[in-house]
Chain A
Amino acid sequence: MSWLPNDVARRARIAGKIAAAAMLFLMVAFFRTQIMRYQRWVLQSEGNRLREVPIPAPRGTILDRNGKVIAENVVGYTVSVLAQSEDSLRGTLRRLAAKVPLSSLQFDRSMQRFRQAPLRPTLIFSDASFSVVSVLEEHRVDFPSVIILAGPRRHYPNGPAVQPFVGYTGEISEEELSQSQFASYRAGQIIGKGGLEKQYEAVLHGREGSRFVEVDAHGRVVREEGAQARLPAQAESLQTNIDLDLQLFVAKLFGDSLVGGAVVMDPTTGAVLSLYSAPSYDPNEFIGGVSFAYYDSLRNNPNRPLYNKALQGIYPPGSTWKLATAILGLQEDVITTESRMPQQCTGYYYFGDRAWRCWEKAGHGSLTLTGAIAKSCDVYFYQLGLKLGLSRLVAGGAQLGFSRKSDIDLPEEKRSVYPDRMQYFNDKYGERGWTSGSAALNMSIGQGDNAQTIVNMARFYSALATDGAAAKPEIVQRRPERTRIMNLRPEQLADLRTAMIGVVSTGGTAASAALKGVTLAGKTGSAQTSSTGGKGKECDHAWFVGFAPVEAPKIVVSVMLECGGHGYLAARIASAIIGKYLGVTPISLIQTEGND
């Protein structure tokens, strides 16, 4: 090498400058990273270490009109896993399966949940049993990424009795997650699945809280971070119009043997006091996921407990609909309450090329409108129907609200079947497939193309019970909504009510339903069906819709028994309900009754 002192000194200076430049370069690089971009990296570092664990909010309590609990929250346990990847979740689940029972369905659902929301803890058991929780607590060290949370679990103290209107809750489904109304929801959250729980989901849901756990690079929970927790906020309780005592009474009346439904409401406000569908089922079984065995038993039950008879069931209203025919006749000035029909009832009415039967083979003789209602004389109403004509029946029925929903605040309600215009018949049967005469005959006695829900019949009778304005049925307390649906003079309405008192008086079709000290009014019906009722055979559904006390109505009851046969059976149920609510006892005399 060149060893001249000047050369060496020069090279040493260059080397010193290179070293200085390199060190300064590194310092500047660190300054940029640590000082100038500090915020960005700090955020990433916090995001690395802290994972948000949602704390579900307790759902709002559902109360009856007297503050009694219909739906509440009890302590339940959820088990979740903080997974880094699908592979690590799969591994954890396999190891979990060795310790606690984990079905392949739960396995697949968990994987699915992870894919839907990979950053949230993946829910494994939404309602872990105490034994599962204790096993997992015991093996805490083996499962560092498992999070066991004690959280609110929905509970219905009177499960089967309230199920028909309260519904149940369950985990949000993939399909629901894609709907805009659930835009703010995340996989694994609990939502209302039916009834009030679904209808008032937005009210009952509450605000989810969260806390943070510190995790390491392998997703193991190292410690809990207390400070940044956001507490969940429980929703306010939902005050309903339901009378829980009455609801329990109704459920007990139906018992295990009767199939059908009942809607009880206040005719002046539309407040639904009770709504029941029999047979019912226990919604508590659905919390945290229903078992296959239980669900199968419900699905295979011929009486279809999953099918809400009060809201989803549409049945020909039969003779209960004769009041509608009567109202239309009075409204159109076709008859008065004292009018008699040209032909008296001999048990038959001849029209077209066939004889149309009255249920009373012996015949009713000559009747006024009032008498025809009390005796439920078919022949009278055949003739009234013909006088009105089909088009007035169709338009008038629609006016009375038979072609639409009652608009009760429950999601299950089905729209009634009713011809909303004449074209309906052409569309259904073809232009030559029907005659307006026979259609009018059928319509006049509540048969034919007319099928109503139990709740919609209750709505109709609330107008009859009051001043001709129907009340919108409401489970949850709010301002009553009443709509005038008929144009009758008060004395005409009073006459119709008198006729309906006759139904439950000696000689009426449901005399045994009379109550001591209370004037009851109503109308029986037995609807001929072809194959509904789930029993695979033809049978008659028994109807009764009535109200009491007639002078100042407090309660309207609509009862339908699938394949119940005689309407008076339904009437007895209704009268028991009314008696219970008004605090009176049924007279329960053995009297001669018609079988309609």
Chain B
Amino acid sequence: MRHRGAVSIDWPLVVSALLLSMYGIAIVYSAGQTDIATYVERVWRLQVLWLALGLAGAWAISRLSLRMLEWIAIPLYAATILVLLYLLFFGRGAGTAESSKSWLMVGGVKLGQPSELAKITVVLLLGKFLAASKTPPKSLLDLWRPALVVGVPWLLIIGQPDLGTGIVFIGILFAMLFWSGISWKLLVLLASPIVSLILGGVTQLWGSWFLLLLALVIWYKPYAWEGAAFVAANVVTGVIAPLLWERLRPYQQARLRTFLDPSIDPRRSGYHVIQSQVAIGSGGWFGKGYTEGTQKRLAFLPAQHTDFVFSVVGEELGFLGVTVALALFWYLFLRIIRVAERANDSFSSLVAFGLLASWFVHVLVNVGMTLNLMPITGIPLPFFSYGGSFMLSSWVAIGLLVRIAYEGRGGRHGPGST
């Protein structure tokens, strides 16, 4: 077994996360350097503090046995649900999302955004359930538990409302199902209602998709009731899509519309994404120089230290800076896949892959959003965007991964090593 008090560390993993965090803090510092000073000028110091706390948290988590984590997954999850329920009634908004209730306030003090913590607890519980079976889910019946684990917090977070984080949960669910070895057929059929939901607004598109789905069902030959259930689900989501659209808040509708064409309202809802593109595009190969971005300095770039922090990278450090950042993320992802692949047991492997999925969706959606490749959902960029809860939860996740790597086949003192 391991030496007492010493956990060997997957240095490439930690160093890449640390480099990303330092890169992020440098950009958050630059984001505060505007011609007319705002409070953003000072937030980089807090971010340094959060990183320090995150490192401490990661160290502490890495000392916990994974068995213990598997064991407390259920109580942790229950606590998370309770907090999310509490938020639904007493949550507070902040910053750019003033009207949502994502902040936990106790006694007038903002404690953080529990939905960040929820990502980890959901990954833990989902891992526990999926690992319990020796075979991957074979039919819809096998999926009710994973669906419930993700569905409950998902609904609570959608209710805040925080669509962005909701998307992350969907990503986690699908990624972990994939990692558990679920068949492609089931995964595609499972995803089909979501496609219907997106295409539901346009009758012709949805009609075509529906015919394709029928063909898929006949081709894959699931159980009769299962096929019927998928078809029914697609009918339902396709029908409620327009109704849901009506239910969306005006700003959410505007965001989705401007995603399709930012120029329809360049002064208001399209403004953010246009200005972000201007900032990134004018960066060129090497950027305008660190802290020198004019779009940022002159406040044309919105939320330059949170949602659009990557636009600052693009403007000031150019394509080169973007490439370095994306390469670091890529390396981190590959390293986590390696950790998941070499994990000692299926639970820890699933947890590692779930955490990867969470970051992957964050990076893809956030970075894509700065170029209008993704709708503006307001989800932050891991290690870059200013925010305490996310920095802390990200480093807690790194701590978990360090532990998984340590216990896994690649760890120096882990059971798999020789």
Contacts and interface: CB of A to CB of B under 8 A. Distances in A.
A23 B134 CA distance: 33
Nearest to A214: B298
B278 A217 contact: no
Nearest to B282: A45
B314 interface: yes
B81 interface: no
A102 to B, nearest CB: 26
B319 A30 contact: yes
A419 to B, nearest CB: 64
B135 A222 contact: no
A45 B364 contact: no
A537 interface: no
Nearest to B320: A34
A16 B298 contact: no
A45 B294 contact: yes
A135 interface: no
B143 to A, nearest CB: 13
Contact of B371 (A9, A11, A29, A220): A29
A461 B135 CA distance: 120
Interface in A194-229: 214-218, 220, 222-223
B318 interface: yes
A42 interface: yes
The interface centre, meaning the residue of B135, B178, B322, B329 with most chain A CB atoms within 10 A of its CB, is: B322
Interface in B280-327: 280-285, 294-295, 297-300, 314, 318-319, 322-323, 326-327
Interface in A36-55: 37-38, 40-42, 44-45, 48-49
A11 B178 contact: yes
Contact of A44 (B282, B322, B329, B349): B282
A35 B319 contact: yes
Contacts of A35: 284-285, 319
A237 B323 CA distance: 61
Contacts of B264: none
Interface stretch (B115-123, B249-257, B332-340): B332-340
Contact of A42 (B281, B326, B373): B281
A41 B280 contact: yes
B133 interface: yes
B284 A217 contact: no
A144 to B, nearest CB: 8
A33 interface: yes
Contacts of B350: 1
Interface residues of A, number: 40
Interface residues of B, number: 55
Give the interface centre of B181, B279, B350 by most chain A CB atoms within 10 Å. B181
B263 to A, nearest CB: 12
A35 B280 CA distance: 10
A20 B322 contact: no
A406 to B, nearest CB: 57
Given A1-B350, A48-B278, A30 B295 contact: no
A239 to B, nearest CB: 49
A291 interface: no
Nearest to B294: A49
B330 A20 contact: yes
A303 B282 CA distance: 66
A223 B35 CA distance: 9
Interface of B: 34-36, 130-131, 133-136, 178-181, 275, 277-285, 294-295, 297-300, 314, 318-319, 322-323, 326-327, 329-330, 333-334, 337-338, 340-341, 346, 349-350, 353, 356, 360, 364, 367-368, 371, 373
Give the 5 A-B residue pairs with the shortest CB-CB distance, closest first.
A41-B281, A2-B181, A1-B180, A45-B282, A216-B298
Given A218-B36, A222-B297, 11 more contacts: A15-B179, A15-B356, A19-B330, A20-B330, A26-B364, A27-B323, A33-B371, A48-B295, A216-B300, A217-B299, A222-B36
22 contacts: A1-B181, A2-B134, A3-B134, A3-B346, A3-B349, A8-B349, A12-B340, A15-B337, A16-B334, A19-B360, A22-B364, A26-B364, A27-B323, A33-B280, A34-B280, A34-B285, A42-B281, A44-B281, A45-B281, A48-B278, A216-B34, A216-B35
